[in-house]
């Protein structure tokens, strides 16, 4: 596939044969034919048009915190919305942020400003775009409590703003998943609050996460969705699966719903471990655990 023409028309960075293990929080995955880090909505529209005109397959990613790139890598163009699109502006209790901003960082910075609404996300490494697409959440809260609207680049290159009232959403599920449009900006309605109280909450949240979650190892966060009225981690731990390994992929000793990379895990190791965990939990508790991580690429 020829990506030389793309380099001539966009402002963002392009890396051919990019090792995806460097761009995912699991540190796992084969190479992408081409990784494109756009600078703005116009760049994204140009990238989509180029891929469409050349017949090149493409996909969009954020911080790589909720995905497993398979060992065969990714064919075509990967549009990675990251640090090139990670600025935001504040006007009173309203925030307009490019979708590459990281939720955890935004939670810390808005708390210091005395703006509440994201403090629950202090330990979540997802981009704001990813949080909008999947309705990220923690501690009984979700991103859509604060989200007012999103700016998207449609597949035809048109840029539009979609109000939250025109989006459907639920637990780890939104209409943006099916729409196919690329989220480029989020509009947030925050609320004024005491900066010290918010900052203390953030600090306590991070302390709890360090104690209860294996942040010392690469992971993708929670691997399975919580079943109704239960927790995937509780079921996995009750099944005695903490510490179970396939290669260098391990069910965390700290938290059953985390699979960690304790060395040089391959995607196949993770897939085998996911399959074994699901099988054992099904046999013991008759519960079908549903993975929430996104699988991309080729085996």
Q: Is 160 a residue of the active site?
A: no
Q: Choosing from 99, 142, 222, 252, which is the catalytic residue?
A: 222
8 A C-beta contact, residue 99 and residue 184: yes
Q: CB of 100 within 8 A of CB of 81?
A: yes
Confirm if 9 and 51 have CB atoms less than 8 A apart. no
65 is catalytic: no
What's phi and psi for 298, nearest 5 deg? -120, 145
Question: What's the Cα-to-Cα distance from 172 to each of 129, 270, 296, rounded to whole Å?
Answer: 14, 21, 18
Q: Could you give the CA distance from residue 16 to residue 30 in angstroms, rounded to a whole number? A: 13
144 closest CA partner among 162, 132, 127: 132
**Token pair in block for residue 122:** 């202090």
Q: Is 172 a catalytic residue?
A: yes
Nearest to 52 by CA among 106, 101, 6: 6
182 phi and psi angles, rounded to 5 deg: -100, 120
List 172, 234, 242, 294, catalytic entry: 172
Contacts of 283 (CB under 8 A, 6+ apart): none
Half-sphere exposure in the Cβ direction for 265 (13 Å, CA): 29
Catalytic residues: 172, 222, 292
């Amino acid at each position: 596939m020829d990506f030389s023409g793309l380099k001539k028309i966009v402002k963002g960075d392009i890396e051919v044969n990019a090792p995806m293990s460097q761009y995912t929080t699991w540190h796992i995955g084969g190479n992408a034919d081409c990784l494109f880090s756009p600078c703005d909505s116009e760049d994204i529209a140009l990238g989509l048009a180029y891929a469409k005109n050349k017949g090149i397959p493409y996909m969009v990613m954020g911080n790589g915190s909720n995905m497993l790139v398979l060992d065969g890598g990714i064919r075509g163009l990967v549009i990675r919305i990251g640090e090139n699109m990670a600025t935001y502006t504040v006007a009173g209790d309203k925030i307009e942020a490019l979708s590459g901003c990281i939720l955890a960082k935004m939670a810390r910075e808005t708390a210091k400003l005395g703006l509440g609404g994201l403090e629950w996300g202090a330990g979540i490494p997802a981009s704001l775009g990813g949080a909008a697409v999947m309705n990220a959440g923690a501690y009984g809260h979700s991103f859509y409590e604060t989200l007012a609207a999103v700016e998207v680049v449609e597949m035809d290159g048109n840029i539009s703003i979609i109000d939250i009232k025109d989006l459907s959403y639920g637990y780890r599920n939104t209409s943006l998943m099916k729409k196919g449009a690329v989220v480029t900006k989020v509009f947030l309605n925050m609320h004024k609050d005491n900066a010290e109280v918010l900052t203390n909450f953030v600090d306590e949240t991070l302390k709890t996460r360090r104690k209860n979650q294996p942040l010392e190892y690469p992971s993708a966060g929670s691997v399975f969705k919580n079943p109704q009225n239960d927790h995937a981690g509780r079921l996995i731990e009750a099944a005695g699966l903490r510490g179970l390994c396939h290669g260098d992929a391990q069910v965390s000793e700290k938290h059953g719903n985390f699979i960690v990379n304790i060395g040089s895990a391959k995607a196949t190791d993770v897939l085998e471990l996911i399959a074994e965990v699901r099988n054992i939990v099904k046999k013991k508790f008759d519960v079908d655990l549903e993975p929430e991580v996104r699988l991309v690429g080729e085996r």
